[in-house]
Structure 1
Amino acid sequence: MARAFEELVAEAESVSVDGWDFSWLDGRATEQRPSWGYQRLMGERLARADAALDIQTGGGEVLAGATKMPPVMVATESWPPNVAKATALLHPLGAVVVADTDEPPLPFADGAFDLVTSRHPATVWWDEIARVLQPGGTYFSQHVGHASVFELVEYFLGPQPEKVRRGRHYEDETADAQAAGLDVVDLRFESLRIEFFDIGAVIYFLRKVIWMVPGFTVAEYRERLRELHDLIEAQGPFVAHSTRFLIEARKRG
């Protein structure tokens, strides 16, 4: 039985969006996963590392899935609720969580790590990544690609200029990595289907992934949300596409 717009809105506004766990969306939205399996590949590299850094770890959920931590394991995070959550989750596993502003410089010495990882970093400071890596060290990450979930972004914000649509393009990121002294040894890109089954799922997603529609609030977009609710009720799930790319790069030297 269809649920009322106001009921769905109230539920989605009240739920916590701390951490980087999307299990609240189970049964309400689906997202196709990249074929390569980032967490497994990350875990394989962590098991071989001596000192590793996970940048923008969120609530630590992805890093916590590694089966073996290196002797030195550090994670950074900027958002206070996530810092607390990651600390509680990762400290028992032997990882130290450092509160960081996500602005250069990283609070570590030159060449401190032989592996740097990050899943879906909001910002990528290539010069800093290169600086804290040892010569021959590896950066291994899954990035959000260009024009990701733009069907939803443009539903609320209207058509975006080409410069905005191209942001985070893997070709540009590759060039920036190389300019910082990193050689890209693996690069894979995929476009992945997302379906939102109710307006509550849309609201939760936009509250959690705050850069999609900057400054999003239900009050600001209530009428547009109501229209989308009616559209989903009449035509079925709202379909969008996320983009992801896997990048592995090694520091020269």
Structure 2
Amino acid sequence: MPRGFEELVAEAAVVPVDGWDFSWLDGRATEQRPSWGYARLIGERMARADVALDVQTGGGEVLVGVPRLARCTVAVESWPPNIARATAALRPRGVHLVAADGDHTLPFADATFDLVVSRHPVATCWPQIARVLRPGGSYLSQQVGPASVAELTEYFLGPQPAAARGRRHPDGAAAAAHAAGLEVVDLRMETLHTEFRDVGAVIYFLRKVIWIVPGFTVERYRERLAELHEQIRATGPFTAHTTRFLIEARRPRLT
């Protein structure tokens, strides 16, 4: 028997949303993965690195899955619930966790790292990335692209201006990397398929990924959520499209 609206809402409104582990959505939502295989790429780069940094590590989910880390691996995270989660996950791997806001500043000396990585950063401070990279060092990042899950945003907020839909474009990231003195050696973007199979999955996702519908709360959008629940029951999963891009940039070697 299908679960009712109130039951789905009550469950999804209280489940913890710290970290970047989305396993709670297993069986309730699906997201197509980019073809480049970010986890595999990070594993390859880490195995060759001497000193590496993971910016905005979340709960440390990416680093935990890397078979062989760099000789010295450091992670940065600013949100207290994620700091606690990442500390517990990464300490056994010998990763040093630093509580800092990687959006704006990195509390490290110049030319410290030969590899900097970041999955789905909220923002990238390119001058700071360039500063902490050693000459010849690389930054590798998978990022959320323009108009990602726009269908979900517009379901709750209505049509968005064209300027909003164009934010986070890979061309803008490449231009910012060049402006910081880095050479872009790889840039790829893909549009991927996402499905939400019940309204609880939508609530959990919006509570966790807070920039999709800024200011989202169940109370504020209860009527719209109820309509979405009925829509999913009548016509099937709510479909949206995510965009992801991969960027790799290198600090030029000294001549």
The superposition leaves residues 31-63 of structure 1 with CA deviations (integer Å, 9 ceiling, x where unpaired) of 001111101110110110010000000000111
Which residue does the alignment assign to 2:134? 134
Distance 1:168 1:88 in 2: 32
Residue of structure 1 in register with 2:175 after alignment: 175
Report the Cα distance in structure 1 between the residues aligned to 2:195 and 2:129, rounded to whole angstroms. Answer: 34
Contact residue 69 and residue 94 of structure 1 kept, 8 A: no
Deviation at 1:141, TM superposition (A): 0.8
**Secondary structure, aligned partner of 2:128:** helix
Q: Could you tell me which residue of structure 2 aligns to residue 196 of structure 1?
A: 196
5+ long unaligned stretches in structure 1: none
- Percent of aligned pairs with the same amino acid: 68
CA distance in 2, matches of 1:16, 1:224: 23
Cα distance in 2, alignment partners of residues 70 and 102 from structure 1: 20
Which residue identity is paired with 2:153? V
Match of 1:55 in 2: 55
The residue correspondences of 1:148-163 to structure 2 (distance < 5 A) are 148-163=148-163
Structure 2 unaligned regions, length at least 5: none
Shift of 1:2: 1.4
In 1, Cα distance between equivalents of 2:129 and 2:239: 35
2:101 corresponds in structure 1 to: 101
Matched residue type, 2:57: T
Alignment partners' CA distance in 2, 1:105 and 1:24: 32
- Give the equivalent residue in structure 2 for 1:40: 40
- Name the counterpart of 1:15: 15
TM-score when scaled to structure 1? 0.98
Measured in 1, the distance between the counterparts of 2:151 and 2:104 equals 32
3-state DSSP of counterpart to 2:219: helix
1:5 Cα deviation from its structure 2 partner: 0.5
1:127-186 deviation digits (Å, cap 9, x = unpaired)? 000000011110001011000000001111111111111110001111111111111111
Separation (CA, whole Å) in 2 of partners of 1:123 and 1:241: 21
Secondary structure in structure 2 of the residue aligned to 1:188: strand
CA displacement at 1:102 relative to structure 2: 3.0
Equivalent residue for 2:84? 84
Q: Which residue of 2 aligns with 1:186?
A: 186
Equivalent residue number for residue 236 of structure 2: 236
Note the C-alpha offset of 1:103: 4.0
1:226 has 2:212 as partner: no
SS in 1 for 2:47: helix
What is the aligned-residue RMSD (CA, Å)?
Answer: 0.8
Alpha-carbon distance, 1:122 to partner: 0.5
Alpha-carbon separation, structure 1, partners of 2:193 and 2:104: 34
2:82 is paired with a residue whose SS is helix
Q: Distance in 2 between matches of 1:63 and 1:187?
A: 22
**Contact 2:103–2:124 (CA under 8 A) maintained in structure 1:** no
Structure 1 distance, partners of 2:237, 2:65, is: 31
- Is 1:28 the counterpart of 2:35 in the alignment? no
Aligned positions, number: 253
CA contact (8 A) 1:186 1:248 kept: yes
1:74 is paired with a residue whose SS is: strand
Deviation of residue 105 (structure 1)?
2.2
8 Å CA contact 1:58, 1:86 repeated in 2: yes
Residues 194, 240 of structure 2: 8 Å contact kept: yes
